[in-house]
Every structure is written in C-alpha cells, then in structure tokens.
C-alpha cells in the first residue's frame, strides 16, 4: 500500500470506530437532537472532507457533474433529511464510508494489476558491465554505453544492449521476449538482442546499438504506450459518462419533485421527504465508476497478457479490432514458410552436379538475393570472384556472366526464352534456376523453401476461431503458391504479385468484408510495410531484429510462429468478451437498482452495492484478461 492508501485506511478505521461508539451513546433528545447531529458530523468530515472539497472545486470550475458531486449531494441530503425527520444520521455517514472503502479497494486492485503487468514485462536492464581499457569491468547505466563498446554479461544477467558476441558461448532465455521457453544457443559471432537472460556462460558482447535503440527499450516503449491508443469501447464510455452523469442528476431532481406532485394530484399527502430520499438513493446508484475504471483496465491487462505470450499489441484499438477478424491475408515467404531457401535438387544435368552448381554459384556470386545465397551455400566452397567477369543482371529474369571464359546464363524460363535457349520445365515445386553454358542448356537447379512446422495447424486454428476466409498473397510463381496453399488448406491464393499488386489485392479484399468484420494482414514486415499499414490490422513476423516490422505493424509476433495469430485473436476475443460482460453487468445492475430506487423499493444499502460492489466485481473481472493460458 502506498502512503496515500494507508492514510485513507486510517481515516476509514477512525470513522468506523466513531460511528460504532456514537451508535451506543445515549444522546437521544439532548439539546433537541442537535448534539447527536453535531457528533455525527465529526466522522462524516473525517471520512469525506476531501470528497466535499473536490465537489466544491468542481462547482467552482463549472464542471460539477462528477462522482464527488453525486456523493456529496447524496450524503449531505441524507444528513439534512435526518435532521429534519428521523434523527438518524448513520445512513448518510455510512454511504460516504462505504464509498471510500470501495475507492480504496479499487486503488489497491489497480495498483496491484499495474505491478503484475509491469512484472510481466520485466525486460528492462538496470545496468551494463562495461569493459574498460584495462580489461576490468565497471557497472554503468546502459544509457551511457556507446555503440561499439564491449560489455560483459554474466550468467543470470539480462543482456542490456543489442550486439554481437565477441567470445564465450551460452544458452539464452528469450521467454520474456518471445514466450518461447526453449533456450537459444549462442556463440562467437552470433547477434544477440537485449532483454534475453544469459543462462549458462559468460558472454563478451560488442554493442551495435544505443540503449534507446535496442530491442528491449523499443518493446517497453511500445507496450507502455500501447494503452494510449484508445479502443472504441473506451471512447464510448468516455462519451457515455459525459451524457450519463448530468442525465442522472436531472432525473434525480425530477424524481424529487415529481413523486410528491403526483401524490398531490391523487389527493395523497405530498411526502416531500420520501421524494428526496428516492432521489438521493438514485444518485448513489448511478456513479459510472465501474465502467470508467474496468474497461481501460481490461485492455491494459489484455495487452500485458498478450505480451507474456509473445504477442505485442500496439494499442487497445488493435486488440479490439483483432477480435472481429474475419479475413486473414498472409504473405508466403517468411510467414508461412521459413524464408530460408535450400537447393533441393539438380535436374537434367548435362555436366556433373558439382560443376553445374559451381557455375551457378559463380554466376550469382555478386548477388545478395536469397536464391543466390542458397546457391553459394550449396556450392559450399570459397568463391573466387576473379573468375567471374562482365556480370549483367537482367531484372525479373536472372543473370548472365562470363566464368572462366565461358558465357553462363542463370535464371528463370523467361531469361532462357529471351536468349532463345530451349529448356526443360521442372515438374517439382519450387524456384527453378535454369542454366546455360555458351548458349547450350545444361540443366536446372531446384530451390525450395520449407513450410514452418506449425503452418498447417495455424490455418486450422484460425478456422476454429471463426475466421471466414484465408488468403495467401505472394510474389512467387503460381505453381509454388498453389502447392503451398493446397498443403495448408488456404482458401484463396494470388500469386506472381509485385509489392504494389499486394496493396491492390488487399484493397479488393477490404471491399469484400461483411459488416463489421476486420481484415488482418500477416507479413514478415520488411517488404510488406505498405500492405501492413493498409490492412485493418497489420501483423508482423520476424520481429527479432527487424526494426521495419516493429515500426510498420500494429501487432508483432515475437517468435515468428504463425500459430500465434490464432492465439492473438483468442486473447483479443477474451478481452472484448470481458468488456462486454462488464458493460452489460454494470449497466444491468444499475438500471435495475435505479428502477427500484425510483419506485422507492431500494434503500441506501442496495444503492451502495450497486455503486461500490459492482465496481469491485468489474475490476476483479477485468483482471482475468491477464491470464491468457487458455485464450
């Protein structure tokens, strides 16, 4: 408990004790009942002075309609009524007392959930062990470490800054970043990202970024600012409270006046007191706090819970949108497949396979395209670039080069057709690199990309979550795309697209949405940025290390696992479900109690429950969103 909360608790205890004593004090009728009145005012002011003060300030600043005002009017009203009529002041003081107990409980509960959520995101490193020129280490603030410095990370410590391992090997726990419990092995030369916990060995790391630009800082920044982007439900409640509070105050006033007037019209005694009492009960019931507090809290807890599962959501609005995902559009490479190309075979080779691979690797040696890299890897030996001359890249086709004095052409069917070389089509699925030596066809290399192990389950899980349509967009050839789509049971596939075509296709799909459905696009973030921002919700893969993904997307899957898409939708559904429950429950109970209050069938006790009790229950329900195990 904070100092403020402790002070409030003391005030509550003192006021409660005084009430108890006063209850048994034989002061009835002394000084015409004024003594009793004066004595009851003491606990009233002890417990409620700040509320009265706030209400007064509200009136002074012409913003009178808030809960402090409601509470002040209701309690002052009850006490005045007590003076005039029954001589019972306990009720008015008790209303204030219970209101404060409820506020205290809420403050403790919110503080607790705030803490447990920040613990979830406990990836902020407190210090860095900087290696000095003398080879000793010095503990410094991570902010002070310059790019290119050497830091030492001991077992059990967090890696404070992104960098490259200079020496040592260890297993890293990336659970805080990815939700993945399997440790990742790293050794010399590997890139490491901040926020991981070093588990076994001592690592010396050369930093490659500043602390503020490192992964851990960026993620924290993102999550902490996430709940600033407000969801529609939150905006609704703010608007609602603005209309609701004055409406309730005027209805209470009407109730106080109308009930006696109606009675008079029927020839009954007016009984003004009864009308006032009903109006006051009405005011206590009506406080909108249960909604105002529980809805942002639910989204906050949901975002916290999602980040524990390795799903970063950039705002409550995106979490809310994700819940009604009806169409999910995927990129192929890097999203459904590993994005790592491997040579799967050499076909129709007119030369020995190694020789063929050697020509292919040499011809492509100046390219950094994934296909070229996979050829170089398959060749396996060091490439002597001096053997290669007059390299010419043919956009959308391939490359021609002179290797050891022979003209080599490596590329797709289009290139071969252009060069007038007949080639054999490949029957297997994959990317095919045809090769020609001095104008003669010498065979082709098949390069294939592996599907991610969870890709098929991911599509099935999405369907179970009620996603109506799955679509795959890819720049790859039709044959490859169709085969992947068939294997994964994706509904629709559009292939051979340029990046600009992807945006156009997403725009067409956006028009196909039914009602309030949302279209989500899942991509690996690097060349999908325009599409990610065009879709209703952009989900990025490959966040580990890819800044482009973090920037462009609304949701980031930290471990590139496509199964997490369904998980994210599940978490979002749970969250919006809780929000709906809370709105329905709070408004339902309040409406019921308001009707009972208007009819004179609700006493102050019920009114307090409708206010404080509903709020406490709504807060407890909201905290459920933290638990995403079964979402």
Partner 1 sequence: MKKTYKIEVDCANCAAKMEEAAKKTEGVTNAVVNFMTLKMIVEFAEGADPKEVMPRVLKDCRKIEPDCEIYF
Would you name the residues annotated as active-site residues? 331
Q: Does 296 interact with partner 1 (rule: CB under 8 A)? A: yes
Q: Does 181 interact with partner 1 (rule: CB under 8 A)? A: no
Q: Does 238 interact with partner 1 (rule: CB under 8 A)? A: yes
Give min distance, CB of 51 to partner 1, in A.
11
* Cα–Cα separations (whole angstroms), residue 194 to 129, 136, 163, 191, 562: 14, 22, 8, 10, 23
Give min distance, CB of 567 to partner 1, in A.
22
Query: Residue-wise over 178-197: b if at least 16 C-beta within 10 A, else e?
Result: bbeeebbebeeeeebbbbbb
Q: Does 3 interact with partner 1 (rule: CB under 8 A)? A: no
Number of residues that bind partner 1 (CB under 8 A): 28
Query: Which residue(s) pair with 518 in the sheet?
Result: 325
* Cα–Cα separations (whole angstroms), residue 417 to 42, 358, 394: 98, 23, 13
**DSSP alpha helix (H) spans, 388-497:** 413-419, 455-464, 478-488
Beta carbons of 589 and 607 less than 8 angstroms apart: no
Instruction: In whole angstroms, give the CA distance from residue 362 to residue 445.
Output: 14
* Cα–Cα separations (whole angstroms), residue 396 to 415, 447, 475, 497, 541: 8, 17, 11, 12, 26
Query: 601 in helix, strand or coil?
Result: coil
Q: Which span sits near partner 1 by CB under 8 A: 55-63, 122-130, 266-274, 578-586?
A: 55-63
Q: Does 58 interact with partner 1 (rule: CB under 8 A)? A: yes
Q: What is the DSSP letter of 171?
A: E
Q: Which two tokens stand for residue 256?
A: 């106080």
Binding-site string for partner 1 from residue 467 to residue 496, where x marks contact by CB under 8 A and - marks none: ------------------------------
Closer residue to partner 1, CB minimum distance, 4 or 478: 4
Beta carbons of 297 and 550 less than 8 angstroms apart: no
Closer residue to partner 1, CB minimum distance, 114 or 263: 114
The correct pick among 292, 313, 323, 432 for binding partner 1 (CB under 8 A) is 292
The correct pick among 46, 297, 529, 618 for binding partner 1 (CB under 8 A) is 297
The correct pick among 143, 188, 224, 512 for binding partner 1 (CB under 8 A) is 224
Q: What is the DSSP letter of 615?
A: H
The correct pick among 3, 32, 61, 189 for binding partner 1 (CB under 8 A) is 61
Instruction: In whole angstroms, give the CA distance from residue 498 to residue 293.
Output: 47
Q: Does 4 interact with partner 1 (rule: CB under 8 A)? A: yes
Closer residue to partner 1, CB minimum distance, 128 or 220: 220
Closer residue to partner 1, CB minimum distance, 37 or 240: 240
Instruction: In whole angstroms, give the CA distance from residue 92 to residue 81.
Output: 9
Give min distance, CB of 479 to partner 1, in A.
50
**Contacts for 626 with CB less than 8 Å, ≥ 6 apart:** 113, 116, 117, 120, 301, 302, 304, 305
Q: Which span sits near partner 1 by CB under 8 A: 141-149, 296-304, 488-496, 598-606?
A: 296-304
Q: Does 284 interact with partner 1 (rule: CB under 8 A)? A: no
The correct pick among 100, 178, 217, 227 for binding partner 1 (CB under 8 A) is 227
Q: Site residues for partner 1, window 65-124 (CB under 8 A)?
A: 66-67, 103, 106-107, 114, 117
Q: Does 320 interact with partner 1 (rule: CB under 8 A)? A: no
Dihedral (CA of 532, 534, 535, 537) sign: positive
Q: Does 536 interact with partner 1 (rule: CB under 8 A)? A: no
Give min distance, CB of 301 to partner 1, in A.
9
Instruction: In whole angstroms, give the CA distance from residue 300 to residue 527.
Output: 31
Closer residue to partner 1, CB minimum distance, 72 or 337: 72
Q: Which two tokens stand for residue 116?
A: 């447990």
Q: Does 63 interact with partner 1 (rule: CB under 8 A)? A: yes
Q: Does 232 interact with partner 1 (rule: CB under 8 A)? A: no
Tell me which residues touch partner 1 (CB under 8 A). 4, 50, 53-54, 57-58, 61, 63, 66-67, 103, 106-107, 114, 117, 224-225, 227-228, 238, 241, 288-289, 292-293, 296-297, 300
């Amino acid at each position: 408990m904070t100092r403020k909360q402790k002070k409030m608790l003391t005030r509550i205890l003192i006021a409660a004790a005084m009430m108890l004593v006063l209850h048994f004090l034989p002061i009835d009728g002394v000084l015409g009942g004024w003594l009793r009145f004066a004595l009851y005012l003491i606990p009233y002011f002890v417990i409620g002075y700040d509320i009265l003060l706030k209400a007064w300030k509200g009136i002074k600043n012409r913003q009178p309609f808030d809960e402090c005002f409601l509470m002040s009017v209701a309690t002052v009203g009850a006490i005045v009524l007590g003076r005039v009529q029954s001589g019972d002041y306990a009720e008015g003081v008790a209303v204030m007392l219970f209101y404060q107990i409820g506020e205290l409980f809420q403050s403790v509960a919110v503080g607790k959930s705030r803490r447990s959520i920040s613990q979830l995101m406990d990836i902020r490193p407190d210090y860095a062990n900087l290696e000095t020129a003398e080879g000793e280490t010095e503990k410094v603030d991570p902010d002070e470490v310059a790019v290119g410095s050497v830091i030492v990370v001991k077992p059990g410590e967090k890696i404070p800054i992104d960098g490259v391992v200079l020496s040592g090997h260890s297993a890293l726990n990336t659970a805080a970043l990815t939700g993945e419990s399997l440790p990742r092995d790293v050794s010399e030369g590997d890139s490491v990202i901040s926020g991981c916990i070093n588990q076994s060995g001592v690592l010396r790391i050369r930093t490659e970024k500043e602390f503020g630009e490192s992964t851990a800082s960026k993620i924290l920044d993102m999550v902490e600012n996430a709940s600033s982007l407000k969801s529609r439900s939150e905006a609704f409640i703010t608007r609602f409270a603005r209309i609701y509070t004055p409406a309730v105050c005027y209805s209470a006033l009407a109730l106080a006046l109308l009930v006696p007037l109606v009675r008079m019209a029927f020839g009954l005694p007016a009984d003004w007191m009864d009308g006032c009492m009903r109006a006051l009960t009405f005011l206590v019931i009506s406080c909108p706090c249960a909604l105002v507090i529980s809805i942002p809290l639910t989204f906050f807890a949901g975002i916290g819970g999602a980040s524990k599962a390795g799903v970063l959501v950039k705002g409550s609005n995106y979490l809310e949108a994700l819940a009604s995902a009806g169409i999910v559009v995927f990129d192929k490479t890097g999203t459904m497949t590993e994005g790592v190309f491997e040579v799967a075979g050499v076909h129709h080779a007119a030369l020995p396979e190694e020789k063929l691979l050697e020509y292919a690797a040499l011809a492509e040696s100046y390219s950094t395209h994934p296909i070229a890299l996979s050829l170089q890897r398959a060749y396996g030996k060091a490439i002597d670039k001096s053997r290669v001359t007059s390299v010419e890249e043919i956009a959308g086709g391939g490359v021609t080069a002179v290797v050891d004095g022979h003209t080599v052409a490596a590329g797709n069917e289009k290139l071969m057709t252009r060069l007038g070389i007949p080639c054999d089509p490949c029957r297997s699925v994959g990317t095919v690199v045809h090769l020609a030596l001095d104008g003669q066809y010498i065979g082709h290399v098949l390069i294939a990309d592996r599907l991610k192990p969870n890709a098929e389950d991911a599509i099935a899980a999405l369907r179970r979550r009620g996603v109506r349509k799955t679509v795959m967009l890819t720049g790859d050839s039709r044959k490859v795309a169709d085969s992947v789509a068939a294997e994964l049971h994706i509904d629709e596939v559009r292939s051979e697209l340029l990046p600009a075509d992807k945006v156009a296709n997403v725009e067409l799909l956006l028009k196909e949405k039914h009602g309030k459905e949302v279209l989500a696009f899942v991509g690996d973030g690097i060349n999908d940025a325009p599409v990610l921002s065009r879709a209703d919700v952009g989900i990025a893969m490959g966040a580990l290390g890819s800044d482009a993904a973090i920037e462009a997307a609304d949701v980031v899957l930290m471990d590139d696992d496509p199964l997490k898409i369904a998980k994210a939708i599940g978490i979002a559904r749970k969250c919006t479900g809780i929000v709906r429950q809370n709105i329905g429950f709070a408004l339902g109970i309040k409406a019921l109690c308001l009707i009972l209050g208007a009819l004179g069938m609700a006493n102050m006790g019920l009114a307090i429950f409708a206010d404080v009790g509903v709020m406490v229950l709504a807060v407890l329900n909201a905290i459920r969103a933290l638990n995403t195990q079964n979402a």
